[in-house]
A and B are shown apart, each in its own frame.
Chain A
Amino acid sequence: MELDPLILSRIQFAFVVSFHAIFPVFTIGLASYIAVLEGLAFKTRNPVWITLSAFWTKVFAVVFGMGVVSGIVMSFQFGTNWSNFSQASANFLGPILSYEVITAFFLEAAFLGVLLFGRNKVPPGVHLFAAIMVAAGTFISSFWILSANSWMQTPAGTELRDGIFHVTSWSEAIFNPSFPYRFLHMAMASFLTGGFVVAGVSAWYLLKGREVEANRKALSMCLWLLLFIAPAQLVIGDFHGLNTMEHQPAKVAAMEGNWETSSNVPLLLFAIPDQENQTNHWELGIPSMASMILTHEWDGIVPGLNEVAIEDQPPVGIVFWSFRIMVGMGILMILFALTGLFLRPKGKLYETRWFLQGMRFMSISPFIAVLTGWFVTEVGRAPWLVYGIMRHSESVTPSLTGGMALFTLIGYVVVYALVFASGVYYLMRVLYVGLENDDEDETDSAERPARPISAAHVPFEYDNHGRIEPADNGGQ
């Protein structure tokens, strides 16, 4: 079989960006949670908030560090594998991505160090301010990235001259039609991720009876938050879908597995899409429901895949099933948030073991939802890289051979597997050591904002008896 540099580049980009995305999506939500904890600590002076904030700041530091390391690769991927796309879109994407670097760097440089190491060195108000600024910084960063991505989905404010995009209106290009929906959807996804991870870890500590007071507080506040934002995400997602139907009908058709434009389109719960024969097998659906969701009328007309030529259709199976997994996760999240509400009276929330176990497993659900959601929107854009204007095949680096692409694909998989393994392993160590060991006072001068992981004082290995010991800050 001939190695296709286009397919391999797409796999490589998907791999690198998926691997990277799981870190920021968590840190964005967690940064806001830490800012809330700092605010509560500042207002009530209750040390439990400080214990929680100190612990989650440690986790934040490790995850943030992983995100930075995996992110370095991203700023070079466009050039190595998609040089024609880089050349064509640089007038818009270059400044936007650069703004992401300089604004994120500015905030990181100024405030992350204060948040991680400054609790005893600056007044509490300044520390709180630093926490808020770090949270703001994560949002500013995602603002630019999602603007760039949305522009590729729904290009606006630019015109193509001699194969190069020129910006005619910065505001139209930055605030392009799908940007507000995508930004809100993603921001909410980050909150859900932060919420479910904190709730899941707190539930796990409660199951083990560790630091009960703090973890009850954490679980309770997360469940209140999730009770509102899990359903809100469904509504935002619905609006995002309507926006997509207006601008990228083929994507919606693939999400619904709808081959023919028609009215009374069923909502398919299960189907095996068959792209070759342009039909589905084993369909199981709710009659007219897709029409209702997408047009808010039972007999509304939903666009089908037959509107575009077969070679312009996205791979239906991936989009169809990714969408179902994402929505399934969303519904599970809502159910768990509601269950939490029903268990609240008489404090059963903290003692119901099956619920706590469930919450523990639910901590991975947002990551699955985020990744499948990105598969829907990115694969659903295919075969376009800039929707309706520039195809994947026109964008790939012309000099790239299949062998080169395969070499780096394997290389990145190996490098990331090693980095990921060490990172997750170390994160687990931090979680095992837990909230009880708060050695905040022992920070020293080698700790710096630019070295986020140094904020976590946990040795890399178990001690030689294989027991889990609290971190020994003195090292060896």
Chain B
Amino acid sequence: MELFDLALIWAFIIGFGIIMYVLMDGFDLGVGILFPFAPSEDDRDVMMNSVAPVWDGNETWLVLGGAGLLAAFPMVYSIFLPALYIGVFLLLAGLIFRGVAFEFRFKANTSRYLWNWAFAGGSTVAAFAQGVVVGAYIQGFETANGVYVGGALDWLTPFTVLTGLGLLAGYALLGSTWLILKTEGRLQEWAYRITTPLLIAVLVVFAIISAWTPFVDEMVSERWFSNLSVIWILPVLTLLCALQIWRSVRNRSEGMPFVATMGLFITTYLGLIVSRWPYVVPPEYTLWDAASAYESQLFLLLGLLFVIPIVLAYTAWTYWVFRGKVRAGEGYH
């Protein structure tokens, strides 16, 4: 028999990759969502510059996620993507427009407003689509013999629209706390001002989703309500993070709001995982059902163990090089 439970190892790797992506692309998508509401065009320059050095590296996690999922859990890949067909298209189109806008806005003069819209629109659509994916996952998929057999728009329900809005608000919150960390003066003041309303919006949507989820699926409600278990610590931690955001904004702390928002995301994410564990294609298939062959998982794992530390070191180094405040007139433009 096999020496290690590779499927479990891969579940951790992919799970880690997803939260890395959500946290890192989350704040730069959030900056895009907040873009049209910024006080002035100069502030928009600063906003874009604050994420310019890192956003592209962040999205590489998404490409790696797509390929990694195909390699390690092909069933997830070949059920999620058909089930979310239209949503995936919107996600990719959003990311493409946003990426191109990033590059060309800095070169543009008279056509700049167009790139502004491409950046904001692309970010908003991409964030919403990602939230819908989360909702669709909670909802579960209609399958037969490991193949998706549901309809084209099964993913679009009131519940998934709500999760879409929830992630939109969540990313906006990540964006605003990122701006608190990275900017100063009027823009930072604006970011402080919008953070509390965004936090309230996030909490309201999260509360509705949490109350709704048990009705969407019986298994989830059983897990949370059948007996009071240790997992209730997660929502408690989420609320503590929310409290911390609120307090640190009041105290005009610069770093803490962002850190606490990341905490809020991580605890919510863990809560989502324990709701469904070990099902990766609810309601039928567990991560072991969805795994690829042992030798395939092993073959890729060997390469990945070598490369991931280098990628992480490089990512950390990039953030280190571009640490500190972003000021108007610096960077591009």
Contacts and interface: CB of A to CB of B under 8 A. Distances in A.
Interface in A394-409: 397-401, 403-404, 407-408
Contacts of A170: 299
B314 interface: yes
Contact of B108 (A103, A164, A166, A460): A460
Interface string A454-474: 101011110010000000000
A124 interface: no
B100 interface: yes
A454 B318 CA distance: 16
B85 A408 contact: yes
Interface string B121-163: 0000000000000000000000000111111100000000000
Given A80-B82, A448-B52, A399 B108 contact: no
B103 A105 contact: no
Contact of B53 (A70, A79, A426, A450): A450
A161 to B, nearest CB: 9
Nearest to B147: A398
Interface in A46-80: 65, 68-73, 75-76, 78-80
B191 interface: no
B67 A75 contact: yes
A309 interface: no
B78 interface: yes
B310 interface: yes
A105 B311 contact: yes
Contacts of A404: 85-86, 152
Interface stretch (A82-90, A187-195, A252-260): A82-90
Nearest to B103: A453
A86 B79 CA distance: 10
Contacts of A90: 70-71, 74, 77-78, 292, 296
A400 B85 contact: yes
A102 B304 contact: yes
Contacts of A451: 52-53, 56, 102-103
Interface in B57-99: 57, 59-60, 62-64, 66-68, 70-72, 74-75, 77-83, 85-86, 88-89, 92-93, 95-97, 99
Nearest to B307: A102
B330 A445 contact: yes
Contact of A94 (B74, B100, B147): B74
A183 B292 CA distance: 28
A332 interface: no
Interface residues of B, number: 72
Contacts of A75: 63, 66-67, 70
Nearest to A403: B152
Give the residue among A76, A103, A426 with the most B Cβ atoms within 10 A.
Answer: A76
B38 to A, nearest CB: 18
A152 B219 CA distance: 41
Contacts of A84: 78, 147
With most chain A CB atoms within 10 A of its CB, the pick from B78, B93, B102 is B78
Interface residues of A, number: 70
B325 interface: no
A106 interface: yes
Contact of B71 (A94, A460, A475): A94
B107 A459 contact: yes
Nearest to A94: B71
Contacts of B304: 98, 102
Contacts of B110: 461, 464
A408 B89 contact: yes
Contacts of B146: 87
Nearest to A166: B293
B71 A459 contact: no
A91 B296 contact: yes
Nearest to A474: B333
A83 B149 CA distance: 12
A90 B81 CA distance: 14
Contacts of B54: 448, 450
B101 to A, nearest CB: 10
Contacts, number: 233
Interface string A150-172: 00000000000000101100100
B185 interface: no
B295 interface: yes
B226 interface: no
A110 interface: yes
B310 to A, nearest CB: 6
Given A84-B147, A167-B296, A454 B332 contact: yes
A311 interface: no
A87 B75 contact: yes
B296 to A, nearest CB: 4
A399 B82 contact: yes
A93 interface: yes
A92 B81 CA distance: 19
Q: Which residue, A401, A444, A454, has most C-beta atoms of chain B within 10 A? A: A454
A440 interface: no
A335 interface: no
A98 B330 CA distance: 37
Interface in A82-136: 83-84, 86-87, 90-95, 97-103, 105-106, 109-110
Contact of A86 (B53, B77, B310): B77
A99 B68 CA distance: 9
A86 B74 contact: yes
A83 B148 contact: yes
B152 to A, nearest CB: 5
B106 interface: yes
Interface in B7-66: 49, 52-57, 59-60, 62-64, 66
A328 interface: no
B92 A422 contact: no
A458 B103 CA distance: 12
A44 interface: no
A419 interface: yes
A401 to B, nearest CB: 6
Given A86-B70, A98-B68, A164-B293, 7 more contacts: A65-B103, A98-B71, A105-B307, A106-B307, A422-B100, A453-B104, A460-B107
Task: Please provide the 6 A-B residue pairs with the shortest distance between their CB atoms, ordered closest to farther.
Answer: A94-B71, A79-B81, A90-B74, A446-B331, A450-B56, A83-B78
21 contacts: A68-B56, A72-B99, A79-B70, A83-B82, A90-B70, A90-B78, A97-B71, A103-B303, A106-B310, A166-B295, A397-B82, A398-B148, A399-B147, A404-B85, A404-B86, A415-B97, A444-B330, A446-B332, A454-B103, A458-B107, A464-B110
